[in-house]
Amino acid sequence: MVLVLLFVVSWPERGNGIEMNDVRKSVIAGSWYPGNPEILTSDIDGFLKNVPTELLNGKVLALISPHAGYVYSGQVAAYSYRLVEGETFDDVMVIGPSHRAFFHGVSIYNKGGYETPLGIVPVNVKLANDIIAQSPIISFVSAAHRQEHSVEIQLPFLQVVLDKFSFVPVVMGEQDGQTCEELADAIFESIAGKKVLIVGSSDLSHFHAYDKAVKLDSVVLDHIKKMDPEGLLRDLERGVCEACGGGPIAVAMLIAKKLGADRAKLLKYANSGDVTGDKNGVVGYASAVFYKGDSAVSVKGKRHVGVDTGLTEEEKNKLLEIARNVIEYKLAGKGIPEFQVESATLKGKKGTFVTLKKHGQLRGCIGFIDAKKPLYRTVEEMALAAAFNDPRFSPLNQEELKDISIEISVLTPFREVEDISEIEVGVHGIYIVKDFYSGLLLPQVATQYNWDRLTFLKETCHKAGLSSDAWSDKDTRIYIFSADIFGESN
């Protein structure tokens, strides 16, 4: 008789370089939101399509988003996430309250990642540990994350609207003023030099009659609109209002203000009664944004055209360098080089126009309005198109190059207008569509020629090959957008 001994060795699974043992599995997929990835993506896309594009004259720093089941709060959450669709961030910081585990201080998940039906979102372990090291009240408490939904519920939206990203999951066991201040300071110190999106996860009042809920929630919303974290925490402690994630809201505000946010906007408010029709015991939801506004005034006292999208001077110079280099290489008969681009922002997807001027006069302008390619790639292609394929001009030649200046316009998302009073000369460009005709003029064109709103509309119609009054036809669609405009002559 032969005795055979079998030794079974269990090796940890890996996913995208992450130890599967360190991945926090979803606990709400299939209940709070669909467990099927196709249905989940379709639902989120549907929510986003129902949100009109919000044009902010500034840089988004922090969002507030609800954390109920998507059937109740998904449409409200979409108002926040629509603002950052197609953006690129180094990291996302999701801060939520603890509903199931009691513990002191704050817990940060500092390993592996979080899994949803759309895949694994990796945790930036180094950043998580850097924040933990900043304060004795911050640590990793396993129970804080095991069943908590307030962080996980935000991830599928982020996975749909952003390119690949890493994040740091933060769960607050205590939400008093001192804890909020220490957490905000720790995060701020640790994200210096990074482009980070802060997300504060919170619902508002719970299980009051509709009218009372609206009254209670209005107190929270007023503090959000005023960017008043101290007042919010004070009124929460007094029972004047309710928000299960009042601490995360306050922390998001504190960090945003430290990062330079000077404006806040309530994007959407609703409660479960608005969804179900049952107004006896409702839960409140809100989406909001904190951002750094564009000053709109230059040092010469003239209005700055367009908006500030948050591009640094280094990033702008890199784009201008790429634009000039591809033209130079083309004229020299050389192949276009592979540019080394490290910036996450430049790898993000944005519509872009490249304009060439010779002695101040237009010499070519071509753009791509859809955000389908990395920004730096779009600049490469549009620079070549403006130089050699603008049908209004002959191809650029070598002798002209020394007299050419380059201007780049990085576009914001487009929004259809219902009333032409929404068009602001100096901020907006116009895109007009009727039947098979379409035309676009950039924001700087109207200011260059000192047009008023009506003239701007007429000239855009002309650009589209339409009659000057076609903008007023009922079947004409008018879109506005803005742009971050910079050039070699700036």
Asked whether the predicted pLDDT for residue 91 surpasses 90, the reply is: yes
Indicate if the pLDDT at residue 473 is higher than 60.
Answer: yes
Instruction: State residue 1's pLDDT score.
Output: 38
Residue 385 and residue 454 in one domain = no
* pLDDT on residue 17: 62
Residue 453 has what pLDDT?
Answer: 92
Give the pLDDT confidence score for residue 304 in this predicted structure: 61
In this structure, the answer to whether residues 289 and 337 fall within a common structural domain is: no
Number of Cβ within a 10 Å radius of residue 148: 25
Pick the residue with more confidence: 436 or 54?
A: 436
Asked if residue 300 is part of any domain, the answer here is no
Q: Are residues 37 and 152 in the same domain?
A: yes
**Angstrom distance (rounded) from CA 188 to CA 203:** 24
Q: Is residue 4 part of a domain?
A: no
User: Any idea what the CATH number is for the domain that residue 189 is in?
Assistant: 3.40.830.10
Judgement on whether residues 320 and 456 belong to the same structural domain of the protein: no
What is the tens place of the pLDDT at every residue in 152-175? 999 999 999 997 899 999 999 999
The alpha-helical segments, DSSP class H, found in 239-366 are: 246-258, 272-276, 313-331, 344-347
Does pLDDT of 265 surpass 50?
Answer: yes
Please report, for the domain that includes residue 457, its CATH number: 3.30.1490.150
Is 5 inside a domain boundary? Answer: no
Q: What interhelical angle do 177-190 and 246-258 show, nearest 10?
A: 40
pLDDT value of position 7:
36
Residues 116 and 175 in one domain: yes
Q: Domain ends where: 409, 444, 474?
A: 409
Q: pLDDT at position 55, please?
A: 61
pLDDT of residue 87: 87
Q: Return the SS3 of 138.
A: strand
Average pLDDT over residues 216-234: 95
Residue 24 has pLDDT above 60, yes or no: yes
pLDDT score, position 299: 32
- Structural domain including 318 reads 310-409
Q: Average the pLDDT over 390-417 and give the result.
A: 92
pLDDT digits (tens, 9 = 90+) for 267-277: 999 999 999 99
CB atoms within 10 A of CB 440: 20
Is residue 392 domain-resident? yes
Q: What is the pTM of this model?
A: 0.64
Residue 9's pLDDT band, with cuts at 50, 70 and 90, is very low
358 and 459 together in one domain: no
The single residue listed with the structure tokens 């083309």 is 330
State in Å, rounded, how far the first CA of the chain is from the last one. 89
Residue 242 maps to a domain: yes
Please indicate, yes or no, if residue 298 is contained in any of the structural domains: no
137 & 88 share domain: yes
Give the per-residue pLDDT at 62. Answer: 97
Q: How many CB atoms lie within 10 A of CB 367?
A: 19
| Shared domain check, 241 and 170 | yes
**What one-letter code names the amino acid at 151?**
V
d(CA 278, CA 155): 28
- Per-residue confidence at 301, pLDDT binned at 50, 70, 90? very low
Residues 420, 449, single domain; the answer is: yes
pLDDT digits (tens, 9 = 90+) for 38-50: 999 999 999 998 8
Banded model confidence at residue 54, pLDDT cuts 50, 70, 90? low
Q: What's 358's domain CATH number?
A: 3.30.700.20
Check pLDDT > 80 for residue 461.
yes
Share of the chain above pLDDT 90, in %: 75
- Does one domain contain both 242 and 391? no
Asked if 403 and 448 sit in the same domain, the reply is no
pLDDT at 397 over 70: yes
Q: What is the DSSP string of 170-218?
A: EEES--SHHHHHHHHHHHHHHTTTS-EEEEEE----EEE-HHHHHHHHH
Q: Which of 381, 409, 437 finishes a domain? A: 409
Residue 135 phi, psi dihedral angles, 5° rounding: -150, 140
Residue 377 has pLDDT above 60, yes or no: yes
Task: Give the model confidence (pLDDT) of 337-368 as tens digits.
Answer: 888 888 888 998 999 999 999 887 899 999 99
pLDDT of 108 above 90: yes
The count of domains in the chain is 3
Output the pLDDT for position 340.
Answer: 87
What pairs with residue 108 in β-bridges? 170
Indicate the range of 172-181, 198-207, 407-416 predicted with least confidence: 407-416
Residue 301 lies in a domain: no
Mean pLDDT of the chain: 90
pLDDT at residue 11, as a whole number: 33
Domain boundary among 345, 376, 409: 409
Query: Is the predicted pLDDT of residue 389 greater than 50, yes or no?
Result: yes
Regarding whether 210 and 344 lie in a shared domain, the answer is: no
| pLDDT of res. 489 | 55
Q: Answer whether residue 7 is part of any domain.
A: no
Cα–Cα dist 316/485, whole Å: 9
